[in-house]
A and B are shown apart, each in its own frame.
Chain A
Amino acid sequence: MSDTSAPDTGDTAASADTDLPTELPTELHGCPVTSSRGQQVIHVTVGQYLDVLKALTDDGYTMVVDLTGVDYLQHLRRPLPAGLEPERFEVVVNLLDLRRRRRTRVRVQVPEADAVLPTLFDLHPGTEAMEREVFDMFGVRFDGHPDLTRILMPEDWVGHPLRKDDEVGRIPVQFKEAHT
Chain B
Amino acid sequence: MSTDYYERSFAATDEGGQQLKPRSEVTAEELMREVGSVLRLSEAEAAELGDLPDDPDEDQTMIINMGPQHPSTHGVLRLMLELQGETVLRCKPIIGYLHTGMEKTGEQLTYAQGGTNVTRMDYLAPLANELAFSMATEKLLGIDEDIPDRAVWIRMLMAELNRMSSHLLFMATNGMDLGAVSMMIYGWREREEVLRFFQEVTGLRMNHNYIRPGGLAADLPAGWRDGVLRILDLLPERLDEYDTLMTGQPIWRERLQGVGVITPQEALALGATGPILRSTGVEWDLRRDQPYLHYDEMDFDVVVGSYGDAFDRYAIRLAEIRESMRIVRQILDHLPAGDYRIQDKKVTPPPRARIDESMEALIHHFKIFTEGFKVPEGEVYVAVESPRGELGCYIASDGSAHPYRMHMRDPSFVNIQCLPHMMRGGLVADAVAVISSVDPVLGGVDR
Which residues of A134-180 have CB atoms within 8 Å of chain B's CB atoms?
135, 137, 146-158, 161-162, 168
Q: How far is the CB of B131 from chain A (nearest CB, A)?
A: 17
Once the chains bind, are B379 and A36 in contact (CB under 8 Å)?
yes
How many A-B contacts at CB < 8 Å in the complex?
141
Which residues of B201-216 have CB atoms within 8 Å of chain A's CB atoms?
none
Once the chains bind, are A155 and B392 in contact (CB under 8 Å)?
no
Q: Is A9 part of the contact surface with B, judged by Cβ < 8 Å? A: no
Q: Which of B183-191, B192-200, B410-418 lies at the interface?
A: B410-418
Known: A156-B10, A168-B104. A150 touches B18 (CB 8 A): yes
Known: A121-B42, A153-B99. A65 touches B383 (CB 8 A): yes
Which residues of A60-100 have CB atoms within 8 Å of chain B's CB atoms?
62-66, 68, 70-71, 74-75, 78-79, 92, 94, 98
Q: Which of A19-27, A45-53, A123-131 lies at the interface?
A: A123-131
Which of A63, A125, A148, A155 has the most C-beta atoms of chain B within 10 angstroms of its own C-beta?
A: A125
Task: Give the total of A residues in contact with B, Cβ under 8 Å.
Answer: 50
Once the chains bind, are A128 and B417 in contact (CB under 8 Å)?
yes
Q: Is B222 part of the contact surface with A, judged by Cβ < 8 Å? A: no
| Measured CA separation A156–B96 after assembly (Å) | 13
**Apart from A103-B381, A146-B34: 20 A-B pairs, beta carbons within 8 A:** A37-B140, A63-B271, A65-B390, A66-B381, A70-B396, A79-B377, A122-B44, A126-B40, A126-B272, A128-B37, A146-B37, A146-B43, A147-B34, A147-B38, A151-B18, A154-B96, A156-B6, A157-B9, A158-B8, A162-B405
26 contacts between A and B (CB under 8 A): A39-B381, A66-B394, A74-B404, A92-B379, A98-B268, A122-B43, A124-B271, A125-B45, A125-B269, A125-B270, A126-B270, A126-B272, A128-B40, A146-B34, A146-B36, A147-B38, A151-B96, A152-B96, A152-B99, A152-B447, A154-B96, A155-B15, A156-B10, A161-B104, A162-B405, A168-B108
Q: Is B322 part of the contact surface with A, judged by Cβ < 8 Å? A: no
Q: How large is the interface on B (under 10, 10 to 19, 20 to 34, 35 or more residues)?
A: 35 or more
Q: Is B378 part of the contact surface with A, judged by Cβ < 8 Å? A: yes
Once the chains bind, are B290 and A101 in contact (CB under 8 Å)?
yes
| Measured CA separation A62–B140 after assembly (Å) | 27
Q: Is B289 part of the contact surface with A, judged by Cβ < 8 Å? A: yes
| Smallest Cβ-Cβ distance to B15: which chain A residue | A149
Q: Is B284 part of the contact surface with A, judged by Cβ < 8 Å? A: yes
| Measured CA separation A79–B379 after assembly (Å) | 11
Q: How far is the CB of A117 from chain B (nearest CB, A)?
A: 16
Once the chains bind, are A158 and B271 in contact (CB under 8 Å)?
no
Once the chains bind, are A65 and B271 in contact (CB under 8 Å)?
yes
**Set B34, B42, B103, B398: member contacting A162, Cβ < 8 A:** B103
Q: How far is the CB of A180 from chain B (nearest CB, A)?
A: 27
Residues of A within 8 A of B (CB): 36-37, 39, 41, 62-66, 68, 70-71, 74-75, 78-79, 92, 94, 98, 101, 103, 105, 121-122, 124-130, 133, 135, 137, 146-158, 161-162, 168
Which B residues lie within 8 Å of A126 (CB)? 40, 269-272, 414, 417
Interface of chain A, helix or strand or loop or mixed?
A: loop
When A and B form their complex, which 9 residue pairs have the shortest distance between CB atoms, in order from nearest? A126-B271, A146-B37, A66-B409, A125-B40, A152-B96, A122-B42, A126-B270, A156-B9, A152-B99
**Set A105, A124, A135, A150: member contacting B381, Cβ < 8 A:** A105
Once the chains bind, are A37 and B13 in contact (CB under 8 Å)?
no
Residues of B within 8 A of A (CB): 6, 8-10, 12-13, 15-18, 33-34, 36-38, 40-45, 95-96, 99, 101, 103-104, 108, 139-140, 142, 268-273, 282, 284, 289-290, 377-381, 383, 390, 392, 394, 396, 398, 404-405, 407, 409, 413-414, 416-417, 446-447
Which B residues lie within 8 Å of A37 (CB)? 139-140, 142, 378, 380
| Smallest Cβ-Cβ distance to B383: which chain A residue | A65
Which B residues lie within 8 Å of A70 (CB)? 379, 396, 404-405
Known: A36-B378, A37-B142, A125-B42. A161 touches B15 (CB 8 A): no
Which B residues lie within 8 Å of A156 (CB)? 6, 9-10, 13
| Measured CA separation A63–B413 after assembly (Å) | 15
Q: How far is the CB of B426 from chain A (nearest CB, A)?
A: 20
| Measured CA separation A70–B206 after assembly (Å) | 30
Q: How far is the CB of B393 from chain A (nearest CB, A)?
A: 10
**Set A41, A129, A146: member contacting B33, Cβ < 8 A:** A146
Q: How far is the CB of B319 from chain A (nearest CB, A)?
A: 21
Q: How far is the CB of B413 from chain A (nearest CB, A)?
A: 7
Known: A37-B139, A127-B271, A129-B413. A155 touches B13 (CB 8 A): yes
